[in-house]
Structure 1
């Protein structure tokens, strides 16, 4: 049993926002550097706490990261990051980047931690501020950069500015990076930027291409953290459904490097500390890793999401997730059918017995075609499998057909939804036991998905055949068909 760590100490961003403008101006005037630059002249509001002189050192021992579910600093993970970067000796400089607000709430908390030499707050309210010379000097001279809460769309606007390379240089020299809430979002490989408004789970599952579902890629890609999409305030604001939609969109839109995507949802008050080897340790209430490892069955504009078997890891305080060697067991499964999730999304019984390849053992919820299955007499029999079932296969020639045999009882409904890769145009047929066509789906175009539904009204049970056929094109890329019986 994993021991439960004490609740982390968190500091609220909002409690400092009510400071008077007079106090802020006085603080800024006293701490500005270099000498001669005044607040009136600066494009970026800059406040430095602690030593006015940067630490000088040849090498650092990071990188280290903190991924926080809400905007405040979590002392436990921030302290671990500081200690890891400085290698247990000396001190580091920290820069906090904020796109809104006033005061220095994060630095007020960071400066009191052991091993911190200085903390500089940069409030940068315009996209052009990403190229501000003094701001980039502060970032490059720091050993840790923390993105505050706020609106991640403002942070995404700095993509392509000097700030992007400056932050990357901190990690490259063995420093670290982190953030909370919006600052958590901007540190994932695929960023939900919320530039079209904030999506709820209901909106995202009802239409994964809603105008609020916008993403930025190519800004930061941290070692061991590829193909991730961060989300925050996770349980409190019920964001599991929208993270599922984020993951499905990332895969469907080809934003990932290997056809898989990992959502990383962190609850308010919680923080993931990720070390230089990619091992993440949770401090605080909970965090979730949501893996999508296949194409969605239905993910099109204006239609609700259908996606079978998201793999979900739940972490509690003190538990770990290895992003460098991503686990293949310990998850529970949840599916979404026509926008409706199956079961409780925030808890489940973990799968513990996985094969070396990471899939469920025989009898599980995924079935890969076995050739030859090019006719009804050679059909793969999936009748005794567990449903809902994901059937995978490929159409390696323009004349390829794949048949699957299934049994329906009186009153049962069979639904088949196939996600077709861009390599070819496939058609989907549902046949009777004698081979008569009962229904079909023949959407035009390579990569066009297909779906059919049939309810058996006659008494007794009967055999049916699912027939996936190449219409034009071919290739080794897998189609994935979600097969359900209800």
Structure 2
């Protein structure tokens, strides 16, 4: 199991800076020594399956998986593989991880993936520094693959690869009709607005009390998958009570102008096998456990640093297993409403009766 740093904890980066300064003050650093990063192992590659990549000109994706926990969900992974290969032939997968598993197999994701039909190979790359994002061998494997899976772990490690060759390599996989996905931290990094947790994690209560809490930081401009614009992902959604903080993320995205049309969409997926499969047309299907879509369609009534959030009428879709959500043609009905006033959210955040009388194309429709 890979560790997941998106839990209430101080950032490792401020601690590193403090330790460096303290050491210098005590005369423990040699004059020519500059400490910028902790020691890391070299980039590590483990390949399972065939040693030779598939050679094929056309692929039928893109397709994506978005998982509430770090583990591969076979049902949605199989659907993505089948969609990309068009139901025929095999493909290659690369798993990206920012750290090695803390116990068990060294390749837990590839262990699961290579059991699935249609897989030629699965290669795990453990990349522990920003510069590893420019590792030529890793980027060659990524570009030759048809699906890139980001393992659970620390999404700040993944966000740190923005601007490296790896960012372009992953984009190229999706552009050629392949796919991308991941679980937990890997789910976070696959939205265009990434809650990166680089300054520590934040709880729902903390985020609603101050939507500009120092632990709420975003990375944007890393990936932008078809039909998935203006979204911010969250994971372990119900178990860790993250609806409130997703509400705060949505409000911040709007207030800070991080979206294209003044609206933002939170996408929360529960753990315990919860997963979204998203096809080339933007249609998401839920598997395993509930998922939620949280729409903020106007500026917050109040979103200021150091002050509690006030936001009226978030539109929330609860998506039970088997349900779909069309990200290309986003629905105007089927939601229930919840508000946050002075940092206090309404009760019943995770379930509600859909409103009636909403409109689709100007025609009133019962949800």
Q: Same fold (TM over 0.5)?
A: yes
Matching residue of 2:227: 224
Q: Structure 1: which 5+ runs fail to align?
A: 1-11, 15-41, 362-486
Instruction: Select which of 323, 326, 350 maps to 1:322.
Output: 326
Please name the residue that 2:75 is paired with. 76
Deviation, structure 1 residue 342: 1.4
1:327-377 Cα shifts (integer Å, max 9, x gaps): 00000000000000112100011024212357989xxxxxxxxxxxxxxxx
- CA distance in 2: counterparts of 1:73 and 1:13, whole angstroms: 12
1:236–1:328: structure 2 CA closer, same or farther, 3 Å change rule?
same
CA distance in 1, matches of 2:323, 2:128: 37
1:106 Cα deviation from its structure 2 partner: 0.2
The total of aligned residue pairs comes to: 323
Which of 171, 189, 192 in structure 1 is aligned with 2:192? 189
Task: Quote the residue 2:239 is aligned against.
Answer: 236
Q: Paired residue for 2:142?
A: 139
Are 2:266 and 1:283 aligned? no
> Using a 3 Å threshold, how does the CA distance of structure 1 residues 293 and 358 change in structure 2: closer, same or farther?
farther
Structure 1 counterpart of 2:45: 46
- Relative to structure 1, the CA distance from residue 141 to residue 86 in structure 2 (aligned partners, 3 Å threshold; closer, same or farther) is same
Residues 278/67 of structure 1: CA separation in 2 closer, same or farther (3 Å cut): same
Identify the residue that residue 313 of structure 1 maps to in structure 2.
Answer: 317
The SS at the match of 1:118 is strand
**Residue 99 and residue 134 in structure 1: after superposition, are their counterparts in 2 closer, same or farther (change >3 A)?**
same
- Does the CA-based 8 Å contact 1:307-1:335 persist in structure 2? yes
Distance in structure 1 (CA, Å) of the matches to 2:350 and 2:362: 22
Unpaired runs of 5+ in structure 2? 4-40
Equivalents in 2 of 1:343, 1:104: separation in Å?
41
When residues 129 and 359 of structure 1 are mapped into structure 2, their CA distance, relative to the original with a 3 A threshold, is: farther
What does the per-residue CA deviation read over 1:242-264, in whole Å, with 9 as the maximum and x for residues that have no partner? 00000000000000000000000
Corresponding residue number in structure 2 for 1:255: 258
In 2, the alpha carbon distance for the partners of 1:333 and 1:179 equals 29
Cα distance change of structure 1 residues 359 and 159 upon mapping to structure 2, 3 Å threshold: farther
Q: Which has the higher contact order (CA 8 A, sep 6+)?
A: 2
Contact 2:2 2:153 in 1 (8 A): no
Q: Hey, what does 1:85 align to over in structure 2?
A: 84
Return the alpha-carbon distance in structure 2 between the equivalents of residues 323 and 260 of structure 1: 14
How far apart, in 1, do the equivalents of 2:129 and 2:170 lie? 17
| Cα displacement string for residues 61-87 of structure 1 (whole angstroms, at most 9, x for unaligned residues) | 000000000000000000000000000
TM-score between both structures, scaled by the size of structure 2: 0.86
1:271 equivalent in alignment to 2:275: yes
Correspondence for 1:180: 183
SS at match of 1:355: strand
Confirm or deny that 1:148 pairs with 2:151. yes
Distance 1:122 1:285 in 2: 29
The Cα offsets for residues 122-179 of structure 1, whole Å up to 9 and x where unpaired, read as: 0000000000000000100000000000000000000000000000000000000000
SS in 2 for 1:233: coil
Match of 2:352 among 345, 348, 352: 348
Structure 1 distance, partners of 2:361, 2:58, is: 39
Larger radius of gyration: 1
- 1:69–1:265 CA contact under 8 A, matched in 2: yes
Structure 1 residue ranges (4+ consecutive) displaced by more than 3 angstroms after TM superposition? 356-361
Report which of the two has the higher share of helix. 2
The residue number in structure 1 matching 2:169 is 166
Q: Alpha carbons of 1:46 and 1:347: their partners in 2 closer, same or farther (altered >3 Å)?
A: same
CA displacement at 1:285 relative to structure 2: 1.3
Matched, 1:211 2:219: no
Q: CA RMSD in A?
A: 1.4
Is 2:96 aligned against 1:97? yes
Q: TM-score, structure 1 length as denominator?
A: 0.65
